[in-house]
C-alpha cells in the first residue's frame, strides 16, 4: 500500500477548513453534510507525488463526511393543554362556576342521599381534577325508546339533575326550620343578619373589658345604609363614616369567640397545680377554658393548659360466661389530662378559685390540685420561742380529755404522765380509741369484754406462744375488776381445709391442754369450743345478709371457695356475739377486725338499732417469729421441714438441736438488721421475747457486740429451755386428765352461752325473728 503522507501545514489547513464549515452549518440542523471531493483529490495528488505512482483515483463515488452536532432537547414550558393521545387528548379542567357547583354537589352527595347511602370521608375533600371534561350522555343506536330521556327530563346541570329526583319538600322544610329556629349560638346573630340592629361606631373600650373589632358585616344592612346615605347630598359626609362603622355583637356573645385573657406573673412562684382529667376532649377543653376565665377574673396569673401524657388502660375479657368459650373481647380506655398552673397567687384566692370550680364542675371532668403555701422567713424561730406556751396549752387539752390519767393504760412502757408530750402515733391511737368508744356507747372506766380465738392446730409452736398466747396470759394478769375475758378454740375455722375426724378431735384436745399449761385460769376467763355455740352460726347468717360482697372479695385470705370467702363474717360473728369491746390481734388480722366494725355499722344502720358493739383493736407488741430454716417465711406447722419450728412440748435436746441448726450467716459479730441479716434478727426476736429485763432486739444486739453466732445461739437455747420446760410439764399433766379437760370446757361453754343469749335476743328483736306473742 503506498505511503500517503501529509505535511503538518496541510493537516492544519484541512482542520481549519473543517472548523469553518462546521461553524457555518451547526446552528440549524443536528446533522451537517460537507462535500469531501476537494479534500480527497488533494490527498490523492499528494500521495501520488510522493510515491511516484500515477495511479488514477478510485472509480468509487465520492463519500460524504457526516458530522453530528449534539443539541439539548428543549423542555416544554408550562402545563400541557391535554393529557395526551393515550388519554384521548383529555383537556385541562376549565373551572367554571357551573362546574365548581357540580363538584361541590358531588362532595355533599351524602347530604342529598338523606341517610339512604353513606360515603367515605375522603370523598368530602375539596378536590378538583387537573384534567376533566363534562359531556352529555346520548342514547345509543341499540337503546330502546323507553330507555331514552325526554327533553323535559333532561337537565342542564348536575344540580338540576339531582334535585329533580329528590323530594324538595324535605329541603324546603329543613331550610325554613333553620330560619325560624336557629341554633343557640346563631340565634343572637339573627337580628344582626337581618339588619335590625343599629350599627355601632368603634370606640375605645374601658380598661379591663376586652374589646374586639368585629369582622362580621351584614351585606344587607351595610349596603342598604350606604345606598340611603348616598341618595341625599346632605348626608355625603356621614356616608364616609358609615363605611367605617361595624356591627357589634353583645359582649357576652363576643366572649365566646375570644381566647381567655391572662394576667402576667411578677415573680413566677407556683401556688397551685390543677390537673384535669376526662375521657372526652370536648369536655376537657371546655372546662380548661372555663377555669382560665375564672382565674383571670379572680386576679390569678394562670398558665396552660399543658397537655399531659395520656393514660391508656386495656382489658381483655371473654365474651361469654361459658368456661370453655374461647372468644374474647378487648376494651380500651384513654384518659386525657391537662395541667393549669397558678403563679403568684394568694392562698385564700386559690382556695376560692378551686371551690368555684368544684361548685360548677362540668360532667365527666376529674380534678386534682396540689397547693403550695409559703411563710415568711424566721417562722421557725418564732415557733421555737413559743414552745413553752404551746406545751402548756397542750397539757391543758390532754388534761381536759383525760388522756394523761389513762396514758399508762394505752402505753404501759412509758415513763409517766407529764414528763413529755405524746407523739403523733400516740395521739392517733388515742383519738381512734376514743372514737370507737363513743361510737360503741361506752364510757371511760366501763367494763371491758376482751375476746380472742385460736385455731386447733395441735400443740402450739413458738410463734403462736409469743404472738398470741403469752399476750392472753398478760391480759388475764393485768385485768381490772369487772373485766371479762373470753377465749375460743375456733374449730369451725379449722375445717376450711378438710381434715380427718380423729385428727381434728386430737388437735382440739391438745390446744385446750396447751392453753391451760401456759397459765390461763378457767376461774378468771372463759374457754370453749366454737362449734358447740350455735348462736355464732345464727349470727353469721344474719350478718351475711348486710355484708358487702365487694369488701369480702378484697380480703387477703380469700383465694378460692365459699368457706374462705365467708371466713371474715364468721370471725365477726365470733366477736360480736359476746359484744366484745377489745380484741387482741396481730398485724395480719387487723383487716378482719375492721370488717367486724363494718358489719356493726351496716347492721345497726339497716335495722335502726345499737345492739351490736364496735370492738377496739389491741395490737400485740410481739414481732412475728420466722422459720428457723428459712427466715424469710413465717413459722408455721404447714412447713414440711420439722426443724423449721419449735413446739411448746419439745424437749431440751430438740430445742438445742433446732437452734443449733437455725440459719444465720458469717457476716461477723451480732447485729440487728432484719433486711440484710434476717436469720440473726430472728434469733434476736426470740431472745427478746424471753428476756427478763424486757430489752428490745436492738438493745440485745448492742449488749452482745463483738460476740459471734455461737454465743447468740447459746443464749437463745438457755432462755427457751428455762421457760418452755415448765410449760411442757404442765401440758403433759393436763393431757393425761381428759375428764378435767371436759369439765373445764363444759363450764366455759355454759358461760359462753349465757353471754351470747343476751346478744341474740336483742338481734332477733331488731330483725323481727323473735316470737312476738
Q: Is residue 178 part of a domain?
A: no
Answer yes or no: do 493 and 566 share one domain.
yes
Are 102 and 159 contained in the same domain? yes
Whether the CA torsion 709, 715, 721, 724 is positive or negative: it is: negative
Q: Would you say residue 286 lies in a domain?
A: yes
Question: Is residue 769 one of the residues assigned to a domain?
Answer: no
pLDDT on residue 772: 55
For the chain, how big is the Rg over CA atoms in Å? 51
Say whether both 241 and 296 belong to one domain. no
- Residue ranges in 554-614 assigned as alpha helix (H): 562-565, 567-576, 590-607
Matching residue, cell 385564700? 348
Q: What pLDDT is recorded for position 275? A: 94
Smallest CA-to-CA distance from 744 within 583, 458, 514 is with: 514
689 falls within a domain = yes
For residues 649 and 730, give the distance between their C-alpha atoms in angstroms, rounded to a whole number: 10
Residue 610: strand, helix, or coil: coil
pTM of the complete model: 0.48
Is residue 299 within a helix (H) or strand (E), and if so which, with residue range?
A: none
Q: What is the CATH number of the domain that holds 658?
A: 1.10.240.10
Same-domain pairing of 238 and 298: no
Q: Residues 578, 615: one domain? A: yes
Strand ranges across the sheet with 302-318: 302-318, 328-343, 270-278, 366-371
Question: Do 276 and 244 share a structural domain?
Answer: no
Residue 577, domain CATH: 3.40.50.620
Residue 175, φ and ψ in degrees, nearest 5: -65, -45
- Residue 532 is classified by DSSP as G
What does the block give as the cell for 11?
A: 493537516
Is residue 221 assigned to a domain? yes
CA distance 481 to 537: 31
Whole-number pLDDT of residue 272? 94
- Output the DSSP codes for 44-105: HHHHHHHHT--PPPPSSPPPEEEEE---PPPPPPS--SB--GGGTTPBBP---HHHHHHHHH
Do 273 and 263 meet the contact criterion of CB atoms below 8 Å apart? no
Q: Yes or no: say if 195 and 218 are a contact pair by the CB < 8 Å rule.
A: yes
152, part of any domain: yes
Q: Report CA dihedral (80, 83, 84, 90) to the nearest 10 degrees.
A: -120
Which residues lie across from 343 on neighbouring strands? 270
Q: Is 279 found in the same domain as 364? A: yes
For the chain, 773 residues long, the average pLDDT of each consecutive 10-residue run is 61 79 55 43 47 45 50 58 84 85 75 60 68 76 68 73 63 64 50 45 36 37 41 50 52 66 87 94 91 91 92 84 75 93 91 92 91 78 74 65 49 45 61 57 68 89 86 86 89 85 90 90 91 90 86 70 82 91 80 86 88 82 82 84 87 89 86 88 88 85 86 89 86 88 91 91 88 57
Q: How deeply is 517 buried, as exposed, middle or buried, from its count of CB atoms within 10 A (0-12, 13-18, 19+)?
A: buried
In whole angstroms, what is the distance from residue 762 CA to residue 197 CA?
A: 78
Q: Which of 598, 713, 612 is nearest to 660 (CA)?
A: 713
| Confidence at residue 637, expressed as pLDDT on a 0 to 100 scale | 81
Examine the domain organization and report whether 245 and 206 are in the same domain. yes
Residue 631 covered by a domain: no
Q: Name residues whose C-beta falls within 8 Å of residue 92's C-beta, 6 or more positions apart in sequence.
A: 79, 80, 81, 82, 130, 131
> Taking a C-beta distance cutoff of 8 angstroms, is the pair 462, 645 a contact?
yes
- Residue 751: Cβ within 10 Å count: 16
Q: Hunting for cell 396514758 — which residue is that?
A: 407
Residue ranges making up the domain that contains 225: 188-256
Report helix, strand or coil for 716. Answer: helix
For residue 135, what is its C-alpha cell? 359531556
The predicted pLDDT at position 323 comes to 65
**406, 448 Cβ separation under 8 angstroms:** no
CB atoms closer than 10 angstroms to residue 704: 18
Q: Are residues 579 and 444 in the same domain?
A: yes
Let me know whether 122 and 214 are in one domain: no
405: left (phi over 0), alpha (psi -120 to 50) or beta: alpha
**CA–CA separation, 217 vs 62, rounded Å?**
88
From CA 757, how far away is CA 599, in angstroms rounded?
Answer: 19
Question: Which pLDDT does position 178 carry in this prediction?
Answer: 65
185: Cβ–Cβ under 8 A, 6 or more apart, which residues?
Answer: 256
Bridge partners, residue 93, by sequence: none
- Please name which of 4, 36, 6 lies closest in space to residue 18, comparing C-alpha atoms: 36
Answer yes or no: is 182 within a domain.
no
**Is 112 strand, coil or helix?**
helix
3-state helix, strand, coil in the chain (%, to 5): 45, 10, 40
Cα separation, 57 vs 69, in Å, equals: 31
What's the Cα-to-Cα distance from 150 to each of 159, 160, 163, 506, 507, rounded to whole Å?
Answer: 18, 15, 17, 108, 106
Same domain, 499 and 579: yes
As a whole number of angstroms, the distance between CA 555 and CA 45 comes to 124
When divided into structural domains, the chain yields a total of 7
Nearest in space to 108 (alpha carbons), one of 131, 128, 125, 92: 125
- Alpha-carbon span 595 to 556, nearest angstrom: 12
Q: Are both 295 and 356 inside the same structural domain?
A: yes
Amino acid at each position: 500500500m503506498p505511503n500517503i503522507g501529509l505535511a503538518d501545514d496541510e493537516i492544519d489547513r484541512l482542520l481549519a477548513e473543517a472548523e469553518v464549515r462546521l461553524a457555518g452549518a451547526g446552528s440549524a440542523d443536528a446533522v451537517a453534510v460537507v462535500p469531501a471531493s476537494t479534500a480527497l483529490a488533494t490527498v490523492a495528488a499528494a500521495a501520488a507525488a510522493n510515491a511516484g505512482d500515477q495511479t488514477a483515483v478510485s472509480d468509487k463515488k465520492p463519500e460524504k463526511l457526516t458530522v453530528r452536532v449534539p443539541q439539548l432537547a428543549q423542555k416544554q414550558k408550562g402545563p400541557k393543554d391535554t393529557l395526551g393521545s393515550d388519554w384521548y387528548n383529555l383537556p385541562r379542567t376549565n373551572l367554571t362556576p357551573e362546574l365548581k357547583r357540580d363538584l361541590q354537589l358531588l362532595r355533599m352527595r351524602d347530604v342529598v342521599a338523606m341517610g339512604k347511602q353513606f360515603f367515605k370521608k375522603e370523598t368530602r375533600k375539596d378536590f378538583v381534577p387537573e384534567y376533566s371534561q363534562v359531556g352529555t350522555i346520548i342514547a345509543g343506536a341499540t337503546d330502546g325508546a323507553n330507555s331514552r330521556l325526554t327533553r323535559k327530563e333532561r337537565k342542564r346541570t348536575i344540580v338540576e339533575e339531582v334535585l329533580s329526583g329528590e323530594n324538595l319538600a324535605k329541603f324546603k322544610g329543613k331550610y325554613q326550620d333553620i330560619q325560624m329556629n336557629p341554633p343557640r349560638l346563631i340565634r343572637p346573630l339573627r337580628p344582626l343578619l337581618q339588619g335590625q340592629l343599629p350599627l355601632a361606631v368603634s370606640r375605645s373600650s374601658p380598661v379591663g373589658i376586652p374589646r374586639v373589632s368585629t369582622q362580621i358585616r351584614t351585606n344587607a344592612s351595610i349596603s342598604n345604609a350606604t345606598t340611603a346615605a348616598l341618595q341625599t347630598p346632605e348626608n355625603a359626609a356621614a356616608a364616609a363614616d358609615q363605611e367605617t362603622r361595624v356591627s357589634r355583637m353583645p359582649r357576652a356573645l363576643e366572649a365566646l369567640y375570644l381566647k381567655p385573657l391572662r394576667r402576667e406573673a411578677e415573680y413566677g412562684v407556683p401556688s397551685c397545680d390543677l390537673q384535669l382529667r376526662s375521657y372526652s376532649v370536648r369536655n376537657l377543653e371546655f372546662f380548661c377554658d372555663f377555669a382560665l376565665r375564672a382565674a383571670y377574673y379572680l386576679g390569678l396569673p394562670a398558665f396552660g393548659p399543658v397537655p399531659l401524657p395520656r393514660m391508656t388502660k386495656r382489658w381483655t375479657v371473654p365474651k361469654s360466661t361459658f368456661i370453655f368459650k374461647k372468644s374474647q373481647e378487648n376494651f380500651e380506655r384513654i384518659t386525657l389530662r391537662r395541667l393549669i398552673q397558678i403563679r403568684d397567687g394568694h392562698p385564700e384566692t386559690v382556695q376560692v378559685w378551686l371551690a368555684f370550680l368544684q361548685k360548677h364542675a362540668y360532667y365527666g371532668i376529674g380534678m386534682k390540685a396540689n397547693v403550695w403555701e409559703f411563710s415568711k422567713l424566721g417562722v421557725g424561730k418564732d415557733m421555737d420561742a413559743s414552745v413553752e406556751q404551746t406545751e402548756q396549752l397542750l397539757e391543758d387539752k390532754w388534761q381536759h380529755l383525760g388522756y394523761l390519767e389513762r396514758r399508762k393504760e394505752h402505753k404501759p412502757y412509758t415513763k409517766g404522765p407529764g414528763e413529755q408530750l405524746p407523739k403523733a402515733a400516740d395521739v392517733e391511737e388515742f383519738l381512734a380509741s376514743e372514737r370507737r368508744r363513743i361510737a360503741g356507747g361506752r364510757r371511760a372506766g366501763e367494763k371491758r369484754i376482751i375476746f380472742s380465738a385460736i385455731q386447733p392446730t395441735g400443740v402450739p409452736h413458738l410463734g403462736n406462744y409469743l404472738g398470741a398466747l403469752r399476750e392472753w396470759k398478760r391480759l388475764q394478769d393485768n385485768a381490772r375488776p369487772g373485766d371479762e375475758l373470753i377465749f375460743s378454740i375456733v374449730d369451725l375455722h379449722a375445717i376450711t381445709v378438710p381434715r380427718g375426724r380423729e385428727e381434728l378431735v386430737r388437735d382440739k384436745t391438745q390446744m385446750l391442754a396447751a392453753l391451760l399449761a401456759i397459765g390461763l385460769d378457767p376461774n378468771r376467763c372463759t374457754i370453749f369450743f366454737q362449734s358447740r355455740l350455735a348462736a355464732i352460726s345464727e349470727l353469721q347468717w344474719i350478718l351475711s345478709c348486710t355484708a358487702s360482697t365487694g369488701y369480702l372479695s378484697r380480703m387477703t385470705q380469700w383465694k378460692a371457695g365459699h368457706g374462705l370467702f365467708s371466713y371474715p363474717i364468721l370471725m365477726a360473728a365470733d366477736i360480736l356475739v359476746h359484744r366484745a369491746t377489745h380484741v387482741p390481734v396481730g398485724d395480719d388480722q387487723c383487716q378482719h377486725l375492721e370488717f367486724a366494725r363494718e358489719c356493726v355499722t351496716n347492721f345497726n344502720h339497716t335495722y335502726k338499732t345499737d345492739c351490736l358493739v364496735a370492738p377496739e383493736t389491741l395490737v400485740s407488741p410481739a414481732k412475728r417469729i420466722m422459720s428457723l430454716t428459712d427466715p424469710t417465711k413465717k413459722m408455721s406447722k404447714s412447713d414440711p421441714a420439722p426443724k423449721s419450728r419449735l413446739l411448746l412440748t419439745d424437749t431440751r435436746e430438740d430445742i438445742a438441736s433446732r437452734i443449733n441448726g437455725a440459719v444465720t450467716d458469717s457476716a461477723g459479730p451480732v447485729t440487728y438488721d432484719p433486711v440484710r441479716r434476717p436469720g440473726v434478727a430472728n434469733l434476736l426476736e426470740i431472745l427478746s421475747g424471753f428476756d427478763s429485763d424486757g430489752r428490745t432486739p436492738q438493745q440485745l444486739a448492742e449488749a452482745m457486740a463483738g460476740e459471734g453466732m455461737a454465743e447468740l445461739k447459746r443464749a437463745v437455747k438457755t432462755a427457751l429451755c428455762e421457760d418452755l420446760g415448765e410449760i411442757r410439764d404442765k401440758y403433759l399433766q393436763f393431757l393425761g386428765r381428759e375428764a378435767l379437760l371436759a369439765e373445764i370446757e363444759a363450764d366455759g361453754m355454759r358461760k359462753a352461752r349465757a353471754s351470747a343469749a343476751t346478744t341474740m335476743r336483742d338481734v332477733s328483736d331488731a330483725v323481727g325473728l323473735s316470737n312476738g306473742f
